[in-house]
Amino acid sequence: MDYLPLFHKLDGRPVLVVGGGDIALRKSVLLAEAGARITLVAPEIEPEVRAFVEARGGSCRVERYAADQLAGHCLVIAATDDDAVNEAVSHDAQALGLPVNVVDAPKLCTVIFPAIVDRSPLVIAISSGGDAPVLARLVRAKLESWIPATYGQLAQLAQRFRARVKTRFADLQARRIFWEEVFQGEVAEKVFSGQPQAAEQLLEAKLTSETATFRGEVYLVGAGPGDPDLLTFRALRLMQQADVVLYDRLVAPTILDMCRRDADRIYVGKRRAEHAVPQDDLNRLLVKLAQEGKRVLRLKGGDPFIFGRGGEEIEELAAEGIPFQVVPGITAASGCAAYAGIPLTHRDHAQSVRFVTGHLKDGSADLPWTDLVAPGQTLVFYMGLVGLPTICEQLIAHGKDPATPAALVQQGTTLNQRVFTGTLQDLPQLVAEHEVHAPTLVIVGEVVALREKLAWFEGAQTAV
């Protein structure tokens, strides 16, 4: 993060603007909206600029810039078309420790103006650090269309009740849950539909209700195979409201960063025969945290109900009477195959697909081999790298053609994705030659041959 976003209170405070043209006017408009007391300095000041500044209680000085003009100001804006003047303003301001913005010159700035979505008192700032201002404006346009103007009214309503809510709920977590229910429920809908009085009455009733207590809950959420764009809207919403996040090693850091920043995070990752938190202990931990009244996010790579042990976890939650939600995720087989350009089914090649775990609970690979070698199906092996030689040997021994197309997809759907294709017989050799590591998906079937024509997401892939 190159810039730390901060919101400055400028109401009644002195700000110096150096420049007298259109650029200075644009910055002056923003400063005036924030209540700043503007002093504008330039050898020539356009009438429109002067009229605006003076109408808002500011002053204009028709003179060239000099360093002594900086004294007494809390912020400095250089908005001229003279590079030498802009550089001098930046140098002098920084020497005095004053925040300075030089329009269209990020390297001379200590502060920058973001694109702004104004729903006062709710204000949203978007910045690209000066690298792509057009992109920042496009993002602002999207937010402008998505966030109703009435969000400001909702924020004002919350402000009027804030002190009473703080008194009613001494616990910070209880207050947070209360407000989230307000902002996502009936109260907000009344505001959005133009019924502010009804909204206030609902909020009053909600605040004085004797049943305004909160129970813990567990969210079992699938994070997908790695690409953050594959998360569901519901997953994102729950990720943003959870108090505690329990995550495994297959959850990408970019996805974990999308969780609420102040949530507690507990790593419970698993590798083959190496668990940071044993499954039974994890189940009990979910129950314990929920019984403490916390909203617990159990964030899993892929889909929680496909080799994710989600069923085991919610069995214990159900037995203890803990409320829970399950949010499906795109499982690795679907996501990795799609990004590798390998359709799992195809009318000419595979009429069914089977998801198979590479090792069972007891650590063995005693699989129904006779069923797995049936024609017209695609096999997808999860966690199959360690047992891959055995898997290939057994499939061939039970009648699978050694020349059956097969693929290894490492870190599928991410920019680090690598795809290696070959045959069932030479898969173990591919692993050794290319130092393939987990997480890697194994796909066996005629559909793999279609990758040559259908691969679309190459990125940093290496195809063999």
Contact present, 28 and 7 (Cβ < 8 Å)? no
Distance from first CA to last CA of the chain, Å, rounded?
37
Strand pairing class (440-444; 377-382): antiparallel
Confidence class of residue 458 from pLDDT cuts 50, 70 and 90? confident
pLDDT for residue 363 is more than 70:
no
**19: exposed, middle or buried (Cβ count in 10 Å: 0-12, 13-18, 19+):** buried
Question: What local confidence, expressed as pLDDT, does residue 223 receive?
Answer: 95
Q: What is the dihedral of CA 242, 324, 235, 331, to 10 degrees?
A: 130
Question: pLDDT tens digits for 152-199?
Answer: 999 999 999 999 999 998 888 888 888 988 998 889 888 988 899 999
Does residue 219 sit in helix, strand or coil? strand
Per-residue confidence at 464, pLDDT binned at 50, 70, 90? Answer: very low
Please give the average per-residue pLDDT across 223-246, as a whole number: 92
Q: Which pLDDT belongs to residue 222?
A: 96
412 labelled binding-site residue? yes
Residue 212 has pLDDT above 60, yes or no: no
Considering the domain 217-330, what is its CATH architecture?
A: 3-Layer(aba) Sandwich (3.40)
Residue with tokens 């809950």: 217
Segment 248-257 mean pLDDT? 92
Just list the catalytic residues. 248, 270
Architecture, CATH, for domain 151-208 = Orthogonal Bundle (1.10)
Sequential DSSP letters for 155-202 = HHHHHHHHHHHHHH--SHHHHHHHHHHHHHSHHHHHHHTT-HHHHHHH
pLDDT tens, residue by residue, 430-445: 999 999 999 999 999 9
| Band (211; pLDDT cuts 50, 70, 90) | low
Q: Is the dihedral of CA 9, 12, 13, 19 positive or negative?
A: positive
Inter-residue contact 463 to 421 (CB < 8 Å): yes
> According to the model, what pLDDT value does residue 272 have?
55
- Please give the CATH superfamily to which domain 333-454 belongs: Tetrapyrrole methylase, C-terminal domain (3.30.950.10)
- Average confidence (pLDDT) over 46-57: 96
| pLDDT for residue 369 is more than 50 | yes
Phi-psi region of 344 (alpha: psi -120 to 50; beta: other; left: phi over 0): alpha
Q: pLDDT tens digits for 90-106?
A: 999 999 999 999 998 98
- What's the pLDDT score for residue 38? 98
Mean pLDDT of the chain: 91
Contact 136, 128 (CB under 8 A): yes
Domain positions in the chain are: 14-113, 151-208, 217-330, 333-454
Q: Please tell me whether 301 is known to bind a ligand.
A: yes
CB neighbourhood size of 319 (10 A): 10
pLDDT score recorded for residue 361: 52
Q: Please indicate if the annotation marks 443 as binding a ligand.
A: no
For 9-26, the pLDDT digits (tens) are 999 999 999 999 999 999
Helices (H), 242-278: 253-256
Task: Write down the pTM of the prediction.
Answer: 0.69
Is 281 annotated to bind a ligand? Reply is no
What does the pLDDT look like over 276-315, one tens digit per residue? 688 889 999 999 999 988 899 999 999 999 998 899 999 9
Q: Which of 151, 152, 157, 162 is nearest to 202 (CA)?
A: 157
Q: How many CA atoms lie within 13 A of 381 on its CB side?
A: 29
Say if CB 303 and CB 282 are below 8 A apart.
no
Would the annotation count 306 as a binding residue?
A: yes
Pick the CATH number of 14-113 from 1.10.287.1080, 1.50.10.10, 3.40.50.720, 3.20.20.70: 3.40.50.720
